A and B are shown apart, each in its own frame.
Chain A
């Protein structure tokens, strides 16, 4: 059995901010580091993790069949062909809604703990039953948000709930950052978001078209050693999770010639 399996929830509150993309890329990145990783899709009403990992045609069973003892855990786990350290387990079948309970999720998580070092739990959007199920299986959490008011507000709500469930540590990933807009103060600054949410920053991902390309293909960016900005960011998140110290660079503060210098001057706090 592993030393101590980590159960990490990936959540956001708001939908469409990049939870599932982060889960897929982080899963692959960790697996490549030799970490035995399971990704649990807790969003069984509208599941998508299989699609982002390119495993959509290989799902036969789900956690529900495992719990009902109609199949073994090994049969339900979908191993990634190129990264055999990674396996996907869908929590449930979309046709069998309202079946799983928080206790079921705990049971499944414990079963996974026998075989994996890290279990990443892809949380559904919202703060209703699906969220509660996903939290039940988790010990720590990564909250992902974008620098937009609605996403930050929802993230704040989720952080409050995680705190009251005793989940810790809770770390932040800031996604879809546009350095130019940030430099022009037309987007919340990195420090604005970290100050407001009061969480340590685990990663910063710039807006990157390659994310869409990789999604189209069902091959996460971290799979093929792509060097795009988002791929690097996801790899760094994985390394930091494993305790490596990699400084986070604020892209809106990077030198980019005279314009950037002027822009930084304009953003200087004078009062």
Chain B
């Protein structure tokens, strides 16, 4: 997200950012949801399951982690940002088993 000089000054003075910045952020979020047609509950469930699966292999920093929708050029993407604390010792299943 680009930050303008105006935003920086506003932030320093503890003022609200210019409303155009807020408008753009709110729009991007709402459109990511509109376009994907996913309801928030399903998204929540998907988020939980993704974390569950990934956690089987690595230990995640759940405080920092985030799974959300982002949209650019009319393409919606599921973006997962999952900081890894450490790998787990996972035994690979025998090949061809």
Contacts and interface: CB of A to CB of B under 8 A. Distances in A.
The number of chain B residues touching the other chain, given as a range, is 20 to 34
B35 A156 contact: yes
The number of chain A residues touching the other chain, given as a range, is 20 to 34
Interface stretch (B16-24, B54-62, B78-86): B16-24
A185 interface: yes
B97 to A, nearest CB: 44
Nearest to A196: B27
Interface stretch (A24-32, A90-98, A216-224, A263-271): A263-271
A196 B31 contact: yes
Interface stretch (B4-12, B44-52, B87-95): B4-12
A16 to B, nearest CB: 18
Contacts of B24: 188, 192, 196
Contacts of B21: 185
A198 interface: yes
A152 interface: yes
Contacts of A269: 2-4
Nearest to B26: A149
Interface of A: 148-149, 152-153, 156-157, 159-160, 163, 182, 184-189, 192, 196-198, 265-271
Interface of B: 2-6, 8-9, 18-21, 23-24, 26-28, 30-31, 34-35, 73-74
